[in-house]
Structure formats: C-alpha cells, structure tokens
Structure 1
Amino acid sequence: MDVDPDADENFTPNPNSKPKIVMIMGATGSGKSKLAIDLASHFPIEIINADSMQVYQGLDLLTNKIPVQERKGVPHHLLGTISPDIEFTAKEFREHAIPLIDEIWSRNCLPVIVGGTNYYIQALVSQYLLNDFADDLEANCSLDLPGDTTKPDCELEPKGAACDYTHARLENLDPVSANRIHPNDHRKIRQYLNLYESRGVLPSKVFQGNTMEVCYTAWLLCKFIVPSYLVLE
C-alpha cells in the first residue's frame, strides 16, 4: 500500500483534505484481522471493530474474536466492549466510531476499520441517513418526515394480510431506493418497506432531504475465501 500524498509519514492529515481511513471487509474466516495486524508491521495503525457480534462482551470463540496474544500489541476498539443487553445499531456504531477515529488521528495513527457488517461500514461512509430515520421510526413512531403532516401509525406492519417484504416489491414501489441496496439485504428492504407502509413516504424522498457530508476518504480492502477445489496445486 502506498502512503497517500496528502498525508505526511506519520499520517498527519492535510488540513485541506478529508481524513483517510482503511476499511477491511470480508466473510467470516477470510483473514480480515490477520491482514489488519500485518498492516501494523508497516504503518502505525489502530483497529476499530465493525462486526455486529464481536462488539459485544463474551462469546469470544463463538464470534471468532481475535485472541489477545494474536493482536501483537495493536490497539483494538469496540471489540467486546458493549453489553449484550444493548442493541448496538448502525447509528450507535457511527456515534462511537467517529470520536475514536478522531482520537486515533490525533495520535498520528491510521484508523483501520475491520469487520463484515456492511451496515456498520455504510454508516461511516454513506451520506444518507435513512437508517437513522427508520430506526427512530421503529423505536417511537414520532418522526416528522419531509412533507408529512399526519400522525404516524405506530403499528409498522399493515393490518390484515402480511406485507410482501421483497426487493421486487420495493423496486416496483421505489426503483431509486431499490437500486441502492442488494436484493439480499433483507434488513434494509424491510426498513424501507416499513417506512412506506407506515407513513406513505417513499425512501428516495427521504434521501433527497436528509444527507450529511461524507467525513472520510476510505480505502476499501475486501478479503475473499477461495474454495479449496479452485486452488491449483
């Protein structure tokens, strides 16, 4: 990996550029943590965990947390620090991660975000805040959405027949928002359709009025697992 020209050798950011972060994504067992530790032998880094199971205390083996002896002294954050009694949403991850990134930069180190939870990663690099709106709506049904003058119905799922929570239905209702997510991202599909069913608001309309500035320039590294039968001896 080459050092960015906008940063000095200690990763002090240029005041005219956005801070740089590295994101390592991939499936469980693909070697994300090992790659991050290997980077530490070349650059001064600190690691922020972005795995939605590994953030919780306990269950180290079940969630495949990197053992302390394998961390080689590299600081890890949000790894086994959250009480299992708390639902750690993407919004909360961002609220914890942003101050950590600032602190890591203040120590002239490079923040490396490691994990396979896509909606955690998106919470840091996406300019759209729809997940926050959907989470708040599901929590208290009191959100004021653009152009909405009616009191929300606190029962998100429609009465009567079960809602068809499919990407095809979302694509038919709102092609713009459907194009932004993977057809297998069932969590987000459900959020978007709940928003429409409960408030009659298309998710793409929320995109238009609620964005934030992207705070970082991200280098994204993806680790893949190659099936053994594809490996040539």
Structure 2
Amino acid sequence: MKIKTLKEERNKPLIIIFAGPTAVGKTALTLRLAREYGLEIVNADSMQVYRFMDIGTAKPSKMERLIVPHHLLDVVDPDEHFDAGIFRELADGVIREIWSRGGVPLVVGGTGLYLRVLTRGICKGIPGNPEVQKRLKMECEKVGIGVMYRRLQDVDPDTACRVHPNDRQRILRALEVFETTGLPISVFQKKHRFSESPYRALKIFLFRDRHELYGRIDRRVLDMIKNGLVDEVERLLEMGYGPDLKPMQAIGYRQMVEYLRGEKGLEEAVREIQKETRHYAKRQFTWFRKEPGYEWVHADDVDTLRHKIDSVFEEEFFSE
C-alpha cells in the first residue's frame, strides 16, 4: 500500500519504531519496508552517530543510504560530546521536518535509552558538581573502572544493572549524583517516570531465537574483520582519536586498539568482541522486556510487520 492522502491534521506526528538487538537484521528489513512504504529512516543507534566509525558500528552503506533517505548518521566526530538529550533534540527536529512534508519517520536502532527519551521524555538533568567530577576521575584513574563499577553496585544497584561495567562516563556520572545528592540517580529517573508522549508510535521489537542470534553475531564480527575493522581503528588512532574517548571504548573498537598495541592476539580480540556483543544483545532483550508498548515480532515475519504498518496507516492517517 502506498501513502496517498492525509485524512486530517494531527497534533502529534506518527512514528514507526523498529527496535531490536544487535545483528537481528534491522538494516536489511527496514530498507525493504522503508522503500516499500516510502518511509524515511531515522537512526537511533548511539554509535552510528559518529563519523569515521562505519565497519565496527555496522552502519548502513553509502549505497543503502541512496536507496532510502537516512537521518542522524555521521552527526559528530568521535571526540565530540553526544548523549541521549542531544539525540532527542535532533531526532525531534528531524521527525517533525519529515512529518511537515507528509512523510512518516521509521526510527531504527537498538539503543534503549535513546528510544525511551524520544518517546517518553527525558529526566531533567541534575546539575554537575565539578569538584566531585574531578575527584572521581582521579580516583578512577588510580583504582580502575572495575572498582568504581562495584561501588555503583553497592550504592545504586538499579543503575548498575543497566550500565555496562566499562561505561566510564555513565558510572562516574551516577556516582557523582549519589555523592552530590545522597540519592541514587535511579530515584530521580523513577520520579520522572518517562511519561511524556510527543508522538503517536507503532513500536516493534524485532527478535530471533537466542541461538540463532548468537550465531549471527559471531558471523558478523568475522565479517567486520574481513571488511577492514582493524584498518578502520588504526586510521582513527592516526587521526588523533585516542583510546580513552567514549566511542573508542565501545565493543569492537576497544579490542582492536588492544590488538594494535600488541596487548592481545587477533583471535583473542575477535573472541572477546563476539562474547561481549552476545552479552550486549542479552542486555538489549532485558531492557526492552521492561519497556511498555512494544509488540514483539520475529525478524523474518515480514507479513506481520506489513499488516501492522497497514493497520496504522488505515486507522490513523490515510484513505485507500
């Protein structure tokens, strides 16, 4: 079914969200459906916003971007700050611009926090405390991120279970909030309840059997190596993007830096990437099980996805 005429003006734009774990097959599927329905894709992957980081983030290729309009790819350099609040502001502008032209955005990604703040609002920021920030950074350099993460588990277990043990920025921020306010950051987030709804959204979570998904993850990591991930990371280092930068600490990039430094062999690095990516996918499943409003659809069930999109268009927007 092609989009034809708008039935009536709506105050809130409609968006379609395809979320899902890494390697579930979001790119190929969304390209297919976006082309079929005339949708424009809005990226909601926290790593694909960075320039020069293509292979390790499984970013859509230039050819794929020519087939369907893509937004919010290559937004910032690896040494520039980017967070969920910035994403929400940029994504909202893109969504409303697409909507103003009579289009429908297809938001695609697996970064749960980005999709949460986009559809349900964002917890108002707690002012930073420069003195505490400085002290925590110095302490982290001295004792290591593992010790800081264990401290977070003690004072704020709810946040610790949602944060990767190597996510230095979020761990230190959570500890800063606790030391500044005496309350865990999760308490402030629960008070907010993420209740804002700026859009009408069809929210789909794409899934596969865990054994099948893990096999796809392992093969994709091997493909990344074959397609030049080592060269990509080496080039980033030569450009001056150091290993301490947040995106350079991401899965795949951190291990390739260690390999290039001679700290581990290539086979060991690949196995670690595969293992950590499988763990990341497991966390994505856990996150989205707790998110309201998502309909779970197998990633190969294209007919069901078409039916859901058709139903939304027919009910909300368009005459046949």
User: Partner residue of 1:78?
Assistant: 72
Return the offset for 1:89: 0.9
Is 1:221 aligned to residue 204 of structure 2?
yes
Q: CA deviation at 1:209?
A: 7.0
Aligned residues of 2:42 and 2:107 also touching (Cα < 8 A): yes
Paired residue total: 202
> How far did 1:202 drift?
4.7
8 Å CA contact 2:152, 2:174 repeated in 1: no
Runs of 5+ unmatched residues, structure 2: 216-320
Number of the residue aligned with 1:50? 44
Contact kept in structure 2, 1:43 and 1:110, CA below 8 Å = no
Which amino acid counterpart does residue 93 of structure 1 have in structure 2?
F
8 Å Cα contact 1:154-1:198 kept in structure 2: no
In the alignment, does 2:188 pair up with 1:196?
A: no
Indicate the SS of the match to 1:198: helix
- Counterpart Cα distance in 1 of 2:77 and 2:15: 27
Query: Does the 8 Å contact 1:156/1:197 carry over to 2?
Result: no
Distance verdict in 2 for CA 1:10–1:82, change over 3 Å: farther
Q: How far, CA to CA, are the matches of 1:28 and 1:182 in structure 2?
A: 21
User: What's the secondary structure of 1:83's corresponding residue?
Assistant: coil
Letter in 1 for 2:156: L
TM-aligned CA deviation for residue 229 of structure 1: 9.9
Per the TM alignment, residue 199 of structure 1 is displaced from its structure 2 partner at its CA by 2.3
TM-score normalized with structure 2 length: 0.52
Moved more, 49-58 or 199-208: 199-208
Moved more, 25-34 or 196-205: 196-205
Task: Tell me how far 1:93 sits from its aligned partner.
Answer: 0.8
Cα distance in 2 for residues equivalent to 1:72 and 1:44: 13
Mapping of residues 82-161 of structure 1, within 5 Å: 82-130=76-124, 132-133=125-126, 137=128, 141=129, 153-155=132-134, 157=136
Counterpart secondary structure, 2:37: coil
Whether 2:62 is the aligned partner of 1:68: answer yes
Equivalent position amino acid for 1:80 in 2: D
Distance 1:109 1:12, change over 3 A: farther
Shift, 1:128, TM fit: 3.8
Q: Per the alignment, in what secondary structure is the counterpart of residue 41 of structure 1? A: helix
Distance in 2 separating the partners of 1:209 and 1:221: 24
**Does the CA contact (< 8 Å) of 2:16 and 2:106 recur in 1?**
yes
How high is the sequence identity, in percent, across the aligned residues?
A: 31
Structure number with the higher helix fraction is: 2
The aligned amino acid for 2:13 is P
CA deviations 1:174-222 (Å, max 9, x no partner) are xxxx3xx682434567644431222224543575479773211222222
5+ residue gaps in structure 1? 143-151, 172-177
Deviates further, 66-75 or 181-190: 181-190
Distance 1:12 1:190 in 2: 49
**TM norm structure 1:** 0.69
